[in-house]
Chain A
Amino acid sequence: DVKVTQSSRYLVKRTGEKVFLECVQDMDHENMFWYRQDPGLGLRLIYFSYDVKMKEKGDIPEGYSVSREKKERFSLILESASTNQTSMYLCASSPRRLQETQYFGPGTRLLVL
């Protein structure tokens, strides 16, 4: 079974803190993604990566950065957390084929106070 794991299920941080969310997949997938999910808005793509050290901005990259030093690991960084970044963060991975589904991690619910 494909497995995508995220470093934390729940996280509470203070405004201005630097926050690291880590995602690891074990299926040698080329693509990895970070989404945030908010009620009524569905999943919005923050960043995605199609190869090691390669990254592309998604629809809402402001306030976020990413790092992919190894194929299996994709990190999301909030340089200076703000209250409007309180959300559910979902990581996903997939092979590079149109018909292949994404596989999702369990999500990290982040609260910024």
Chain B
Amino acid sequence: AQKITQTQPGMFVQEKEAVTLDCTYDTSDPSYGLFWYKQPSSGEMIFLIYQGSYDQQNATEGRYSLNFQKARKSANLVISASQLGDSAMYFCAMRESGTSYDKVIFGPGTSLSVIP
């Protein structure tokens, strides 16, 4: 069963607009971490933002924020004021504690294109 779902294979956004990239996850572990990564066409994976399952507040990092809804098991990435350099693949990932502690599971990714 898919543990991380990203339902938007491709997204377009106008420059300077905000965009939300969806991510839902499945776990029975009470302690887990959620990550978002950006992968430009150059191929490097860039860490963007982290949310812990016990964190009380939604994570924010500059123009990136994470809309964490624990009961719905969703961790959507919000990018404000999109820039042309934001065009890339975006991956949601989950790290669980317990026996699979060191495994990180990735979603299939969303391709974001920013239109001038």
Which residues between 89 and 113 of chain A lie within 8 Å of chain B, taking CB atoms? 90, 92, 94, 96, 98-99, 101-104, 106-107, 109
Residues of A near B108 (CB, < 8 A) are 40-42
Contact of A99 with B50 in the complex, beta carbons under 8 Å: yes
CA distance A88 to B39 in the complex (A): 13
Of the candidates B9, B44, B103, the one whose C-beta lies within 8 Å of that of A104 is B44
Tell me which residues from 17 to 60 in chain A have a Cβ below 8 Å from any Cβ of chain B: 31, 33, 35, 40-45, 48, 50, 56, 58
Q: Which of B47, B97, B107 contacts A101 (CB 8 A)?
A: B47
Q: Label chain A's interface by main secondary structure.
A: strand
Provide the residues of chain A in CB contact with B6, threshold 8 Å. Answer: 42
Of all chain A residues, which has the CB nearest B96? A98
A54 vs chain B, min Cβ distance (A): 10
Sample of 13 more A-B contacts, CB < 8 Å, known A40-B9, A98-B31, A107-B43: A31-B102, A42-B107, A45-B103, A45-B105, A50-B102, A94-B102, A94-B104, A98-B97, A99-B33, A101-B47, A103-B47, A104-B44, A106-B44
Binding site for B on A (CB under 8 A): 31, 33, 35, 40-45, 48, 50, 56, 58, 88, 90, 92, 94, 96, 98-99, 101-104, 106-107, 109
A-binding residues in B (CB < 8 A): 4, 6, 9, 31-33, 35, 43-45, 47, 50, 52, 91, 93, 95, 97, 101-109
